[in-house]
Structure 1
Amino acid sequence: MMQTISEFNGKINSFIWGPFMCTLFVLVGMYFSVRTGFFQIFKARYWWNNTVKAIFTNKSVTKSNDKKSISQFQALTTALAATMGTGNIAGVSTAIVAGGPGAVFWMWVSAFFGMMTKYAEVVLSMKYRCKNEKGDWIGGPMVFIDRGLGVKWLAVMFAVFCIFASFGMGNMSQANSAASALNSAFGTDNLQVGIILAALTALVIMGGIKRIGFVTEKFVPFMAAVYTAGGIILIFMNYKNIPFAVESIIDGAFGIKAAGGGVMGYTVSQAMRFGVARGVFSNEAGLGSSSMAHAAADSKEPVRQAMWGIFEVFADTIVMCTITAFAILTTGVIGSRGADGSLLNGAALTISAFSEGFGNFAGVFISVGIVFFSFSTLIGWSYYGERCVEYLFGLKYTKYYKFIFIIFVVIGCVSSLDLVWEVSDTFNGMMSVPNLIAIMMMSGQVFDETKKYLHKKKRSYSLYKKAFNK
């Protein structure tokens, strides 16, 4: 029975994360990039000033006056909490091993165009969000598909896939990674870790989106800063190998040094497939999930909040995943073998890379990093699953979802999850099908919202300039 499920899931997974869908992810992002005039490039200074720079200059983005909303910055950190998971540590190394160094280039490509896919998701989520009976904002693909597109069954499909993904990739897989990392580094008991992790998760998610936002705005920047600092130090310790790393990425991406046409085609296709797939897996652009967190922000302008979505992809993949990739490539650990003689992959390969610079401390550093990343994913995905349960069954059932979610944290820590990883990866990817269909069918509304916002800002600036000159 389990073998049959595994084989059936493998066929679906090979399609969802296969060449066709990976190409579709890029094409959709390319479409939104072209139609918005490559907003992520030509408006880079503008969205940077309204996101990162605004954190230090504009209190309105870090504080919310609405008791039922979270700030724009908290919406970002909640979304990043869910996206910054084990994919940033283990997913990157898996892509490099499976697709070669060229996979990093295609990860960048998916992130570059994915910025505008995420932008479109957030615009639509903000535009069609609504308040529930408690006065909380509810948004996301299931809402804009239902209210904006009017296709209920497609919205239900997304919500069902999201709930399954929240228990798998957003819960059990993350909990298992955290327990395994602590057991490897400190010899801890998985059950004890599960109970503690479940208690911490409960403490956060039972407080609702306000508490989740409060925790993530403190937790995520610290987590990202520590890992980024460690990675940059390691890369600079091996700075002489940076040119080699860049060359290997470019060569691998285009098969420049491949021996023949067939080999070149296979090399490029593998690099593209695993690079795009792991990039989307990491930043979730195209899956629609993180737009639910952005919909809870107190921003009144869909485009303004969507600019945080652009930065989200930039921070997750262009920055965090690139640091992991260069840490691996500059230390030359690809092809290394473990004590059992098997090729190192996943988190083990990343630990090996950091060990080149930090010795035995690397195992502890990466293990603790995995725990932090896993915990952040747990609390972020709990919110996504909760919103989808509310959409399908009503607000009163969300408390049951939270309770079950907490129980599954413990189960994830003490279970062997090979099949769970495979199935949850599939459900994670299946969310993209209804989401991509919807944002493409509603793309005109994204472009209209963008034009209206930019025109309004341009007109406001013209009026200010005219008044100032007087």
Structure 2
Amino acid sequence: MIILGAGNIFLEGLNKIVDTGNTILWTYIIIGSLIGLGLFFTIRTRFVQFRLFGEMFKVISEKKDNEKGISAFQAFTISTASRVGTGNLTGVALAIAVGGPGAVFWMWLIALLGMATSFIESTLAQIYKVKDGDTFRGGPAYYMEKALKNRKLGIVFAILLTLCFGLIFNAVQANTITVAFENAFGTNKLLLGVIIALLAGVIFFGGVHRIAKVTQVIVPVMAIMYLLVAFYVIIMNISQIPAVFSLIISSAFGVNEVFGGLVGAAIMQGVRRGLFSNEAGMGSVPNAAATANVSHPAKQGLVQSLGVFLDTIVICSATAFIILLTDVYTIHDLTGIQLTQGALEVHVGSWAPSFVAIAILFFAFSSIVGNYYYGETNIEFIREGSTWLTLYRLLVVGMVIFGSVAKVALVWDMADLFMGLMAVLNLVVIFLIGKVAYQALDDYVAQRKAGKNPVFYAKNIPGLTDTECWEQEETERQK
């Protein structure tokens, strides 16, 4: 009894700390930072996400120059595997349930501005990446060490990311899968969790190349399947689409009388769930961007900018329309994945919960794989060695099993807290060293205008140092 009482006191205290931290971060810091810096990066790059939108589709399909690293498309699928998950099906539903339809508008806004932010952080990750055998690795921890000359700050970020993505987020992903399957098929949550953990473990121990091979198959297939169903729903309700847009816009600014009191909640939920879904500015995606073997860092910046668009403007919007084309979201007993399942069932019939369960299996499982890799590359930053990596892999497998059966209200809140801390730290850093990314973008555009396939060397930016891959790249190309 004493131990149980102490445990309850500990959980209550932890809840208060997490709630206080989230209140401070999300009320006073994160929202203003994401919107303000997103707007700053958009203007500073001369609206890169819009003027080079077509270019994004060109560079995503480029092949590698040699056998090192992975392709631009494979790096894109690793990052999309992490992005596209519970945030797209569950997060959108949570945002609408708590913040009303207006939350969707703020998700759109944070994504459009976040495309510029993602370009900056991913370009920086490419510039400061390091060699790892026949592959590459990098991310915020690496550019904190190399550009700011502050390894300790990099270690702090690496710890935050490893805990957040490798452990906490993966518990959330596993929980969403098992809840959806229990709702659709009555599946035993523990048994399914063990199966998911074993499958994930096989991929984890196969390294980045196996991760890339898995995600480049799963990500396109799952996205296309889900979007086809969503497209069918939209076509069948095409006459109601203008009304849905009107509902979203009016609710976002408090004009709609039903949702007028939810403006603050709409902004909070839209930004919060938008960041959880597309990760722009959080500092996670640059870890995948750094793995790509491309001829110019800006190419991967453009690719990852496109990833934000695909995640939020396309896939999250698909879920939003599925929900808002019904009145199921007004039933307060439904939230999260059950809301998405219930809304789709109205459109297509009783097979919808099963389809959503299968879709979330692919979405969330690929996120587990992508999230794991982010932690791996940061474990290697902190300390290289197979022992630490093996321990981390076993911990992730354990968290997948734990998350599959746990009540994860606290885990979701902890995920928000760690996600917020990561975003604040990363946003400050890319603001401080963003000049390097701007110069890389100018170099890329100048070469494109000259009719060249842009190729980057460290000397292209005067004074640029500590970029081992691009200095070696110049030497190797001259041979």
After TM superposition, which residue ranges in structure 1, 4 or more long, deviate above 6 angstroms? none
Output aligned runs, 1:343-382, within 5 Å: 343-382=333-372
CA contact (8 A) 1:64 1:70 kept: no
Q: Kindly state the Cα deviation for residue 315 of structure 1 after the two structures are TM-superposed.
A: 0.5
CA contact (8 A) 2:196 2:400 kept: yes
Amino acid in the other structure paired with 1:235 = I
Q: Kindly state the Cα deviation for residue 64 of structure 1 after the two structures are TM-superposed.
A: 6.9
Moved more, 437-446 or 188-197: 188-197
Q: Percent identity?
A: 35
Root-mean-square deviation (Å) = 1.9
Q: Kindly state the Cα deviation for residue 237 of structure 1 after the two structures are TM-superposed.
A: 1.8
2:108 counterpart residue number: 108
1:396-444: CA deviations, max 9, x gaps? 3212211221222222223232222221221122111211111000111
CA contact (8 A) 1:333 1:352 kept: yes
Output aligned runs, 1:132-281, within 5 Å: 132=132, 134-258=133-257, 267-281=262-276
Q: Does 1:323 align with 2:318?
A: yes
CA contact (8 A) 2:166 2:374 kept: no
Looking at structure 1, the residues matched to 178 and 448 of structure 2 have their Cα atoms a distance apart, in angstroms, of 49
Looking at structure 1, the residues matched to 136 and 146 of structure 2 have their Cα atoms a distance apart, in angstroms, of 14
**Structure 1 residues 360 and 19, CA, compared in 2 at 3 Å: closer, same or farther?**
farther
Amino acid in the other structure paired with 1:123 = T
**Structure 1 residues 421 and 271, CA, compared in 2 at 3 Å: closer, same or farther?**
closer
1:126-177: CA deviations, max 9, x gaps? 0001113x34312000000111111223212211111111244431111121
Looking at structure 2, the residues matched to 124 and 233 of structure 1 have their Cα atoms a distance apart, in angstroms, of 40
**Structure 1 residues 243 and 390, CA, compared in 2 at 3 Å: closer, same or farther?**
same
Looking at structure 2, the residues matched to 239 and 25 of structure 1 have their Cα atoms a distance apart, in angstroms, of 33
Q: 2:309 aligns with which of 311, 314, 330?
A: 314
**Structure 1 residues 45 and 136, CA, compared in 2 at 3 Å: closer, same or farther?**
closer
Unaligned runs of 5+ in 2: 1-9, 454-479
Looking at structure 2, the residues matched to 184 and 206 of structure 1 have their Cα atoms a distance apart, in angstroms, of 31
2:87 counterpart residue number: 87
CA contact (8 A) 2:91 2:277 kept: yes
Amino acid in the other structure paired with 1:442 = I
1:414 counterpart residue number: 405
Q: 2:394 aligns with which of 385, 391, 403?
A: 403
**Structure 1 residues 122 and 204, CA, compared in 2 at 3 Å: closer, same or farther?**
same
Q: Does 1:16 align with 2:15?
A: no
Looking at structure 2, the residues matched to 378 and 136 of structure 1 have their Cα atoms a distance apart, in angstroms, of 21
CA contact (8 A) 1:198 1:409 kept: yes
Q: 1:439 aligns with which of 427, 430, 433?
A: 430
CA contact (8 A) 2:178 2:193 kept: yes
Q: Kindly state the Cα deviation for residue 392 of structure 1 after the two structures are TM-superposed.
A: 1.0
What TM-score, normalized by structure 2, do the two folds share?
0.89
Looking at structure 2, the residues matched to 297 and 252 of structure 1 have their Cα atoms a distance apart, in angstroms, of 41
1:65 counterpart residue number: 66
Q: Does 1:5 align with 2:4?
A: no
CA contact (8 A) 1:239 1:330 kept: no
**Structure 1 residues 250 and 121, CA, compared in 2 at 3 Å: closer, same or farther?**
same
1:195-216: CA deviations, max 9, x gaps? 2111110121111110100111
1:467 counterpart residue number: none
1:300 counterpart residue number: 295
CA contact (8 A) 1:258 1:267 kept: no
1:21-59: CA deviations, max 9, x gaps? 1121011111111011101112222223333xxx3xx5x
CA contact (8 A) 1:85 1:370 kept: yes
Output aligned runs, 1:19-58, within 5 Å: 19-51=28-60, 55=61, 58=62
Looking at structure 2, the residues matched to 348 and 161 of structure 1 have their Cα atoms a distance apart, in angstroms, of 30
1:451 counterpart residue number: 442
**Structure 1 residues 319 and 169, CA, compared in 2 at 3 Å: closer, same or farther?**
farther
Amino acid in the other structure paired with 2:230 = G
What TM-score, normalized by structure 1, do the two folds share?
0.90
